[in-house]
Structure formats: structure tokens, C-alpha cells
């Protein structure tokens, strides 16, 4: 039924398809529709199935013509898409260009626009030069981790005797007093708990409680500087009554083998724990550096490649980002929109902000995809098994269970792709020259990649 078709490539992987359909085909389609209507239509004054076509045409002619045009359009599009190589992207709905001119007595011509998978022209991707920062895990980093563990395992003990010391957890009542020494009831707080030295209290009384006993009360004059963080208090002076109700002491566990065993059964001695921390830090650094290199590589390749980004891809990416955004706020779309409106922004503004990032991400993905294709990277079953094995160990399940999990969730392809990309990146990094960048510390690295 298709008489003519022409495909015109536009910018950004968009395609304009012009199709002409012969008049006979349209007539045929129309008559068929008319016949089917004639059999079922019920019009007053006629028995079912006895309505003459001309009456039907008079009553429903326009809508039938429209229906025919839609049907012809859909059928022909389907036929074409089954035939041609460059299929439209799944999220790119072909959209009509211009007005439809439909006449039963004439050939029917229409044009649709849609996006196809973009043709990526790769630039240089072998032997690239990238810069990777130099990071070494120092003793300090190790100590910090260990300290954090120690902190997590601290025991808080009630202190019956003695006075408040640095780092203690104190429970206090406090209230402001007016000039005559009477309490202002509105400002009274009871059983307020804070850690001395943390500053997590309204009047910053950390230093004032030091040396107080449990059960003791004290009236202090506190002056607040003009640049005090609480605007209401800045530049004022207050008389405060503080009652210490309880003091608790944080007892840090000793750094010894016992602590190591407490943290996990894996460790026997403190040395084991330390070694493990070291290993974990090293792994983190390796992972981060690899990520950094991969990003740098992809960025380089994208920079030298020609990567057209179809509009529909960007739209899909933005939409998924938007969905993520909604999920992060855990709210309904209306709520989030209202919130944005309060900031004087709309969804379109946010999308516009995200757009460059989205385009970069898509370009990266397209390039990686193309590279996988060009380098003909295949994944063998052994590699999949090895990967499953690894995952199984870290999740402490058997390999079969891991495999089952992936198969049940239809994630085998995903795994395959992941391995393929990993192999690609390995090869890329292997083939590239890594220039030593400037030295940065472990903490900087963590922050940089976040």
C-alpha cells in the first residue's frame, strides 16, 4: 500500500520520514471500514445492518475519514518500521509534521519525525593521556578510621560522683531569668541532653557546665556577641539558671585485641583489624581512582568524538532524573512543585539546569556503547561465573543462589553488560598513558568524587 517513502536525516539523530500512500489503498481501507460500520451501526428508522452506506457516510463521514487516515498511517508506519534498519528509539514517539491532508480521491502523504539511534563517530580513544591524582593512604587516615570505630563502640556510663568534664554527656534543665531573679517560664527547658563541647545547645553553655556536680544549680550571666549565630540572642546578655541533673561519661574502649574481636568475629587481634582497615582504605582509593580515570577517559573520548544526542533521549534522561528527585524528596509531584514554586522555580527551570549534565551522561553512555561494539568485547560464561562467585562470597550465599537471583530478576543481561564495560575500561586504562597528577590526600579524594 506504500507508494513512496523517503527518509531525510536531520540534526541530532532525528529523522523525517515522508510517506505517500496510493489512493486505491485508501479507498479500499475506507470501504472496509464503512462495511464494518454498516453491519453494526444502529440508527433510528433502520434495522441493524440495514443502514444504507450513503446515510452512514452522511452521519459519520468525517470521523470515518479521520479513522481511516489514522489506521492507514499506523499500518504503514508499522510496515515501514518493520522493514527499515534505523528503527525509532523506544522512547521516541514518531510525531506528525505539519497538517494531515486526507482526501479519499487523492494520494495520501504524510511526514513523521522521530529519533533514531545516533551514529557515533568516535574520535581518538587509544593511547589517551589522562591525569590521575596521586593518593596515598597515610597513617593518619588509618588512625581516623580506627578512632571512628572506637567512638562507635564507646560505652556511656552514668557518673554518680564527680563533676562535668570535657566530652561528657550532660542532662540539664535551664531557663532564662529576668532582672529580679524570677524565672521566665516560657524559656524553661527540662531534661535537655547534650554532649559537652559539641555546642549543640541554644545558649552555648558548654563551658559553663564544666565543673558542676550532678544536682547542682547555678545562675550565670551570659553575654552574647553581636555576631552570635542565633539572631535573637546576638548582642544581648541573659541571666541563665542551669541545673545539672545527670552526668554521663563516654568511655572509649581501649584499643586492643578485645575491641577488634568485638567489632567482628573476623578479627583476632588488633593488628588484623588495622590490616583490614588499611586494605579497605586502599580498596576505596583504588576504586575512586579507577572511577576518576574512567570518567576522564570517557570525557576525553566524548570531546574528540561526534556524538549527536537525540532530543527524546535527553527527555527520557531528564524524566528519570526528575523521578529520582521526586523519590528523594519522598513527596508527591504536586508537593515538590509547590516547594519549587516557593523558590520561584518551575519544573522547566530545574530541567534546564540538569540538561547539560544529562547530555554529558548520554554522550558518555553512547560512546561506551560504541566502544564495546568496535572493540568487539565479548563476555564468556566463565567470566560471568567468576563474577557471580565474587558477588556470592561478598553476600555470603552460594554461586547458584546468586545466579538464580540474577536470572529471576532478568538481570543477566545487565550483569553481562557490566562485565563487558568493565573489560572495556580495563583495556582503555591499560592502553592509555596515565600522567601523575598532583598529590591529594585521602579525604580530598573522597570529597572530590562525591
Partner 1 sequence: MDADKIVIKPLLTEKSNRLREVHKYAFHVDARANKIQIKAAIEELFDVHPISCTVLNVKRKPKRVRYRKGYTSSWKKAIVTLPPNETIGIFEGA
Residues with Cβ within 8 Å of 317's Cβ and at least 6 positions away in sequence, in order, are: 358, 361, 362
Question: What cell numbers appear for 319 in the block?
Answer: 524524566
Which of positions 110-169 make contact with partner 1 (CB under 8 A)?
none
Cβ proximity to partner 1, 44 vs 139, nearer residue: 44
Contact 297, 428 (CB under 8 A): yes
Residue 55 in the binding site for partner 1 (CB under 8 A) = yes
Instruction: Estimate the crossing angle of helix 311-329 against helix 347-375, to 10 degrees.
Output: 120
Whole-angstrom Cα distance, residue 262 to residue 313? Answer: 51
We find the least distance from the C-beta atom of residue 43 to partner 1, in angstroms, to be 8
- SS3 at position 315: helix
- Candidates 26-34, 49-57, 232-240, 297-305; binding stretch for partner 1 (CB under 8 A): 49-57
Among 440, 437, 438, 436, CA closest to 141: 440
Cβ proximity to partner 1, 43 vs 270, nearer residue: 43
Per the document, the length of the chain is 450
Residue from the set 4, 6, 48, 52 that interacts with partner 1 by CB under 8 A: 52
Residue 47 in the binding site for partner 1 (CB under 8 A) = yes
Residue 57 in the binding site for partner 1 (CB under 8 A) = yes
Question: What cell numbers appear for 369 in the block?
Answer: 556503547
We find the least distance from the C-beta atom of residue 38 to partner 1, in angstroms, to be 13
Contact 172, 209 (CB under 8 A): yes
- Candidates 55-63, 115-123, 143-151, 336-344; binding stretch for partner 1 (CB under 8 A): 55-63
Count of alpha carbons within 13 Å of 234, Cβ hemisphere only?
A: 6
Residue from the set 11, 42, 45, 396 that interacts with partner 1 by CB under 8 A: 45
Residue from the set 9, 50, 78, 121 that interacts with partner 1 by CB under 8 A: 50
We find the least distance from the C-beta atom of residue 414 to partner 1, in angstroms, to be 60
Residue 46 in the binding site for partner 1 (CB under 8 A) = yes
Residue 270 φ then ψ, to 5°: -60, -35
- SS3 at position 14: strand
C-alpha distances in angstroms, 348 versus 192, 234, 319, 326, 358? 45, 41, 11, 14, 14
Residue 27 in the binding site for partner 1 (CB under 8 A) = no
Cβ proximity to partner 1, 52 vs 215, nearer residue: 52
We find the least distance from the C-beta atom of residue 106 to partner 1, in angstroms, to be 19
Please tell me the count of residues contacting partner 1 according to CB under 8 A: 12
We find the least distance from the C-beta atom of residue 338 to partner 1, in angstroms, to be 53
Cβ proximity to partner 1, 53 vs 98, nearer residue: 53
Residue 38 in the binding site for partner 1 (CB under 8 A) = no
Residue 58 in the binding site for partner 1 (CB under 8 A) = yes
- Candidates 42-50, 108-116, 219-227, 416-424; binding stretch for partner 1 (CB under 8 A): 42-50
We find the least distance from the C-beta atom of residue 59 to partner 1, in angstroms, to be 9
Residue 162 φ then ψ, to 5°: 90, 175
Residue with cell 479513522: 67
Residue 42 in the binding site for partner 1 (CB under 8 A) = no
- Candidates 45-53, 170-178, 280-288, 297-305; binding stretch for partner 1 (CB under 8 A): 45-53
Q: Which residues lie across from 189 on neighbouring strands? A: 174
Contact 121, 305 (CB under 8 A): yes
We find the least distance from the C-beta atom of residue 48 to partner 1, in angstroms, to be 11
Contact 22, 30 (CB under 8 A): no
Q: Which residues bind partner 1 (CB under 8 A)?
A: 43-47, 50, 52-55, 57-58
Amino acid at each position: 500500500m506504500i507508494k513512496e517513502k523517503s527518509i531525510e536525516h536531520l540534526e541530532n539523530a532525528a529523522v523525517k520520514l515522508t510517506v505517500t500512500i496510493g489512493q486505491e489503498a485508501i479507498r479500499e481501507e475506507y470501504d472496509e471500514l464503512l462495511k464494518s460500520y454498516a453491519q453494526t451501526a444502529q440508527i433510528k428508522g433502520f434495522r441493524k445492518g440495514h443502514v444504507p452506506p450513503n446515510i452512514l457516510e452522511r452521519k459519520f463521514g468525517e470521523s470515518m475519514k479521520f479513522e481511516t487516515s489514522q489506521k492507514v498511517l499506523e499500518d504503514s508506519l508499522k510496515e515501514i518500521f518493520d522493514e527499515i534498519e534505523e528503527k525509532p528509539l523506544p522512547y521516541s514517539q514518531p510525531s506528525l509534521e505539519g497538517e494531515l491532508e486526507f482526501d479519499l480521491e487523492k494520494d495520501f502523504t504524510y511526514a513523521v519525525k522521530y529519533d533514531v539511534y545516533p551514529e557515533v563517530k568516535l574520535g581518538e580513544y587509544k593511547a589517551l593521556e589522562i591525569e590521575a591524582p596521586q593518593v596515598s593512604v597515610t597513617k593518619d587516615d588509618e588512625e581516623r578510621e580506627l578512632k571512628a570505630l572506637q567512638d562507635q563502640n564507646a560505652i556511656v556510663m552514668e557518673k554518680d560522683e564527680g563533676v562535668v568534664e570535657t566530652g561528657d554527656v550532660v542532662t540539664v534543665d535551664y531557663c532564662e531569668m529576668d532582672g529580679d531573679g524570677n524565672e521566665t517560664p516560657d524559656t524553661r527547658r527540662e531534661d535537655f541532653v547534650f554532649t559537652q563541647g559539641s555546642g549543640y545547645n541554644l545558649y552555648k553553655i558548654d563551658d559553663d557546665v564544666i565543673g558542676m556536680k550532678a544536682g547542682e544549680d547555678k545562675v550565670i550571666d551570659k553575654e552574647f556577641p553581636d555576631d552570635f549565630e542565633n539572631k535573637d540572642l546576638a548582642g544581648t546578655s541573659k541571666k541563665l539558671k542551669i541545673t545539672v541533673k545527670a552526668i554521663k561519661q563516654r568511655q572509649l574502649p581501649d584499643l586492643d585485641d578485645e575491641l577488634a574481636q568485638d567489632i567482628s568475629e573476623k578479627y583476632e587481634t588488633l593488628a588484623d583489624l588495622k590490616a583490614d582497615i588499611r586494605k579497605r582504605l586502599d580498596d576505596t582509593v583504588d576504586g575512586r581512582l579507577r572511577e576518576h580515570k574512567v570518567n576522564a577517559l570517557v570525557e576525553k573520548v566524548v570531546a574528540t568524538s561526534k556524538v549527536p544526542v537525540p532530543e527524546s533521549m535527553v527527555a527520557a534522561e531528564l524524566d528519570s532524573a526528575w523521578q529520582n528527585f521526586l523519590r528523594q524528596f519522598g513527596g508527591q509531584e504536586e508537593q515538590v512543585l509547590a516547594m519549587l514554586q516557593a523558590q520561584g522555580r518551575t519544573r522547566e527551570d530545574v530541567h534546564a539546569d540538569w540538561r547539560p549534565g544529562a547530555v554529558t551522561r548520554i554522550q558518555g553512555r553512547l560512546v561506551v556503547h560504541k566502544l564495546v561494539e568496535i572493540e568487539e568485547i565479548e563476555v564468556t560464561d566463565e567470566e560471568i561465573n567468576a563474577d557471580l562467585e565474587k558477588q556470592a562470597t561478598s553476600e555470603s550465599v552460594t554461586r547458584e543462589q546468586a545466579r538464580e537471583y540474577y536470572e529471576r530478576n532478568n538481570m543477566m543481561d545487565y550483569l553481562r553488560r557490566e562485565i563487558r564495560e568493565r573489560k572495556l575500561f580495563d583495556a582503555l586504562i591499560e592502553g592509555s598513558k596515565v600522567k601523575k597528577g598532583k598529590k591529594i590526600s585521602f579525604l580530598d579524594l573522597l570529597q572530590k568524587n562525591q
